[in-house]
Amino acid sequence: MYRWDLSPLYPDFKDASYQEDCKKVFELTEAYVSYFDYEEAKKNQVEYLESLLKKLEEIRALSSKIFGFINLNLSADTQNSEAKQELVKMQALSAKFALIDNKFKTHLQNLDDLEDLFEKSAYLKEYQFLLEETKEDLEHTMSAELEVLTSELTQNGSTLWSQLQRHMTSMAETEFRGKKLSLTEIRNLAYSNDPEVRKEAYYQELEIYKNIEDAVSFALAGIKGEVNTLGKYRKFDSPLSEALFISRMKKETLTALLEAMKESFPIFRKYLRHKAKLLGHENGLPWYDLFAPMGKSEKKYTVEEAQEFILKHFGSFSSELKELAAKAFENNWIDYLPRKGKVGGAFCSNNRAIKESRILTNFGGEIGDIITLAHELGHAYHGEQIFNEALLNSRYTMPVAETASNLCETIAKKAAYREAESKEEKIHILETELQDSTQVIVDIYSRYLFEHSAFEARKKSVPSAKDFNKLMLEAQKEAYGDGLDFEYLNSGMWINKSHYYSGRLSFYNFPYAFGLLFAKGIYAKYLEEGEAFVPKLNALLRATVKMKVEDVAKLVDIDLSDPTFWKAGLETIAADIEEFIRLTSE
C-alpha cells in the first residue's frame, strides 16, 4: 500500500492492451497527418474543424496514458530498463506530434473567421480559448520542416540531458556513518535534530556534487544552449519572454511580484539572523543549519496517521477536498517512501485518460512530510476540476499550477499549528513553515537569478561546473544577504534541482512564489466567505485551462499587476516571523 498502483493505466509493459495502444497511437497519428490533405472534407469548415479536434482528442488520450505509464515507472525506478526502452520507442512520435501541431496551426491560419465558427458549433465554442491561443502561437512557430527536425533533435539533446541529470542525482550515493546513503537521503539529514549530523551531511552533500558536477554541467549547458538557440528562431526576445508566453502571464505581473519579493527580504534576513543566534552562530546562518528544526516535536507520523490528519483537516475546508484525498488513499495513487533509484522530491501527475492522478513523495514521518503530501494532493484536486473540462482543455500554466497545492498546504500548516500541544511544538511547526516560506520567496529568487545568469553565460561560452558554482553562490548572496554565513553556502544547488533541466519549461522558479502568494490571497477570500467560496474556487481552477493568468485572478477580484496584492501575502509571512521571534525570545 506504500507504492502506487499503476494498473488502471496498464498492468505492465508486456500486457496486450499496452502493446495494442502503442500500435494504435502510431496508426492514428499517421492517419491524422494524412487527413490534412483531405480537401473534400475541408469544404465544410465547421465539420472539418470538429473532426480535427475529435481525432486529436483520441490521440491525446492514448498518448497521455502511454507516456504517463512510462514516466511514472521511470520516476519510481530510474534504472527501469523496460521503461527506458519504451520511452525511446515512443519518442518517435514526437516528430509526428510536431508536424501535427504545425499543420493544425497552418489550417487555423487559413480560416477567415473563427468567431463565426464558434457561433455555429457549441462543440467548437468549448475550445474557443484553445483555438485562439493556438492561432496566436503561430507568431512563434517555425516552418513544418524545422519544427519536425527540432522535435527529433531535442530527443537527442535536452531530453537526454535531462535524463542524465535524473540518473546522476538519483544514483549518487556516499558512505555516511557506516551506511550507504543516496543523495536524497543525505539531503534529508538537513532536518536532523543532531547538529553534528546536519553539518556532516552538508559536507557529504558537497562531496557528492563534486563527483557528478562535471557531467551534470554539460547537461545544463546543453539544455540552456538549446533553449537560447531555438528561442531566436521562434522570435522570442529571451528565454524569460518565452517562459512568460507559455505561462500566459504578462511581464507586468512578474515585475510586480519580483519587486514585492525583493522588498520583503529584510524581514526574511531578520528571521535567518535570529535563528542563527538561537543556534549559536555569529555571522548569519550557515547553510547546514538552514533547515535545522527549532522547538520540539517528538512526534513521528506513520503513513496512516498522515492520511488521518489530512482527511480530518481537508474535511474542515470542504467535503469535496476530503473525498478527493480519501479516493487517493483508498485507490493507492501514492508512492510514499524513499529508496535508491527513485527520484527525489515530490510531484503529482494528473492523467486525463483515466481521470486519476498519481503522487510521488519521499515520506520520512515528519510534520513537514504531511504538509508535502497535502501540497501534492492539492495538485490532484486541481486535476479533478480539470477532468470536468473538454479533453483538450487540459493545459494550465506554471504560475496557477501551484494555486490549489499551496492552498492545501496552508490548510495543513494552520491545522498543525492549532493542534500543537505545547509552546515548543508551536515553535517547531511555525518555524517549519518559515523554512518553507523562505525557500519559496528567498531561495526561489536566487534560483531565478541563477537561471537568468546561466542563460546569459551560455550565450558566450559553455560554462563549466566551476562557472555554474560561482553563479549559484552569487545568486545566493544577492538573495539571502546577511541572513546567511557566506562561508557556508551551497554552490551545488543547481545540480539537484530538476526544474533547470527542461528544454521546454524554463524559469520554473517564480511560479512557486506566485503560487504561494496567490494561494494566500485565495485563502483570505475563503476566510471571508466560508464554504460558499468553494464553488468559486472550483470555477477558478477549471478556468486555468482556458484563460490568461490575469483573467483567472479577476474571477475572484484580484489584480495581479498591483504590487499591494503581493505585499499583502508577504505581510502575513512577516507576521509569522515576528511571532516566531517573540516565542523564542521569551
Q: Which tens digits make up the pLDDT trace of 533-554?
A: 999 999 999 999 999 999 999 9
Residue 442 pLDDT greater than 90, yes or no: yes
Round to whole Å and give the CA distance between 458 and 450: 12
Q: What is the DSSP letter of 286?
A: -
pLDDT at res. 300 = 87
The answer to whether position 3 is within a domain reads no
User: Across the chain, what does the average pLDDT equal?
Assistant: 94
Question: CA of 557: how far to CAs of 165, 363, 532, 550, in Å?
Answer: 42, 37, 16, 10
Same domain? 139 vs 170: no
Same domain? 286 vs 302: no
Round to whole Å and give the CA distance between 314 and 232: 46
Confidence of residue 141 (pLDDT cuts 50, 70, 90): confident
Round to whole Å and give the CA distance between 391 and 401: 18
Residue whose C-alpha is closest to residue 191's, from 359, 491, 483, 431: 431
Region of residue 65 (left: phi > 0; alpha: psi -120 to 50; beta: else): alpha
The answer to whether position 426 is within a domain reads no
The answer to whether position 427 is within a domain reads no
Round to whole Å and give the CA distance between 260 and 513: 11
- Average pLDDT, integer, range 340-358: 93
pLDDT at res. 43 = 87
Round to whole Å and give the CA distance between 514 and 535: 22
The answer to whether the predicted template modeling score (pTM) of the entire model surpasses 0.75 is yes
Confidence of residue 114 (pLDDT cuts 50, 70, 90): confident
Q: What are phi and psi of 268, to 5 degrees?
A: -70, -40
Q: Which domain holds residue 501?
A: 162-295+439-508+560-583
User: In the structure grid, which three cell numbers stand for residue 265, read together?
Assistant: 527580504
Round to whole Å and give the CA distance between 273 and 279: 10
pLDDT at res. 561 = 92
Q: pLDDT over 90 for what percent of the chain?
A: 82
The answer to whether position 48 is within a domain reads yes
Neighbour-count burial for 3-30, b at 16+ CB within 10 Å, e otherwise? ebebebbbeebeeeebeebbeebbebbe
pLDDT at res. 95 = 85
Q: Is the dihedral angle over the CA atoms 545, 551, 556, 560 positive or is it negative?
A: positive
Round to whole Å and give the CA distance between 9 and 69: 6
pLDDT at res. 59 = 96
List of E strands, 198-318: none
Q: Is the dihedral angle over the CA atoms 405, 407, 412, 417 positive or is it negative?
A: positive
Q: What is the DSSP letter of 194?
A: -
Residue 492 pLDDT greater than 90, yes or no: yes
pLDDT at res. 292 = 95
Q: What long-range pairs does 8-17 form, CB within 8 A, spacing at least 24? A: 8/354, 8/356, 9/65, 9/68, 9/69, 9/72, 9/351, 9/353, 9/354, 10/65, 10/69, 13/82, 13/83, 13/86
Distance of CA 444 to the CA centre of its chain: 13
Residue 112 pLDDT greater than 80, yes or no: no
Residue whose C-alpha is closest to residue 223's, from 156, 286, 271: 156
User: In the structure grid, which three cell numbers stand for residue 452, read together?
Assistant: 537568468
Q: Count of residues for the chain?
A: 586
Same domain? 66 vs 116: yes
Same domain? 316 vs 265: no
Same domain? 259 vs 281: yes
Residue 134 belongs to domain with CATH number = 1.20.140.70
The answer to whether position 354 is within a domain reads yes
Q: What is the DSSP letter of 77?
A: -
The answer to whether position 5 is within a domain reads no
The answer to whether 461 and 284 have CB atoms below 8 angstroms apart is: no
The answer to whether 457 and 463 have CB atoms below 8 angstroms apart is: yes
pLDDT at res. 60 = 95
Residue whose C-alpha is closest to residue 476's, from 292, 320, 284, 295: 284
Inter-axis angle of helices 144-155 and 195-233, nearest 10: 160
Q: Which of 140, 156, 172 finishes a domain?
A: 156
The answer to whether 541 and 403 have CB atoms below 8 angstroms apart is: yes
Q: What is the DSSP letter of 285?
A: B
Same domain? 42 vs 118: yes
Residues 169, 170, 172, CA angle at the centre, nearest 5°? 65
Same domain? 150 vs 184: no
Q: What are phi and psi of 338, to 5 degrees?
A: -70, 150
Residue 314 pLDDT greater than 90, yes or no: yes
- Average pLDDT, integer, range 355-384: 94
The answer to whether position 429 is within a domain reads no
pLDDT at res. 177 = 94
Instruction: Name the CA radius of gyration of the chain, rounded.
Output: 24
Q: pLDDT over 70 for what percent of the chain?
A: 100
Same domain? 265 vs 386: no
pLDDT, tens only, 513-538:
999 999 998 888 898 898 899 999 99
Confidence of residue 208 (pLDDT cuts 50, 70, 90): very high
| Sheet with 347-351, side-by-side order of all strands | 334-335, 356-360, 347-351
Virtual torsion, Cα 124, 129, 135, 140, nearest 10 deg: -150
3-class secondary structure, 4: coil
Residues 30, 66, 127, CA angle at the centre, nearest 5°? 65
Q: Which of 141, 156, 171 finishes a domain?
A: 156
Same domain? 516 vs 493: no
pLDDT, tens only, 232-280:
999 999 999 999 999 999 999 999 999 999 999 999 999 999 999 999 9
Q: Which of 156, 176, 209 finishes a domain?
A: 156
Confidence of residue 296 (pLDDT cuts 50, 70, 90): confident
3-class secondary structure, 279: coil
What are the beta bridge partners of residue 350? 357
The answer to whether position 8 is within a domain reads no
- Average pLDDT, integer, range 461-467: 97
Question: CA of 171: how far to CAs of 88, 142, 202, 339, 343, in Å?
Answer: 21, 38, 18, 10, 9
Same domain? 406 vs 464: no
Domain count, the chain: 3
Residue 53, Cβ neighbours under 10 Å: how many? Answer: 20
Same domain? 107 vs 215: no
Sort strands 356-360 and 334-335 into parallel, antiparallel or unpaired. Answer: parallel
Residues 242, 372, 168, CA angle at the centre, nearest 5°? 65
Residues 6+ apart with CB under 8 A from 366: 191, 297, 300, 301
Same domain? 266 vs 346: no
Residue showing cell 520567496: 441
Confidence of residue 467 (pLDDT cuts 50, 70, 90): very high
User: 170: part of which helix (H) or strand (E)?
Assistant: helix 158-171
Residue 314 belongs to domain with CATH number = 1.10.1370.40
Round to whole Å and give the CA distance between 189 and 197: 7
Round to whole Å and give the CA distance between 500 and 494: 7
pLDDT, tens only, 395-407:
999 889 888 998 9
- Average pLDDT, integer, range 118-127: 95
Residue type at 354 in one-letter notation: I
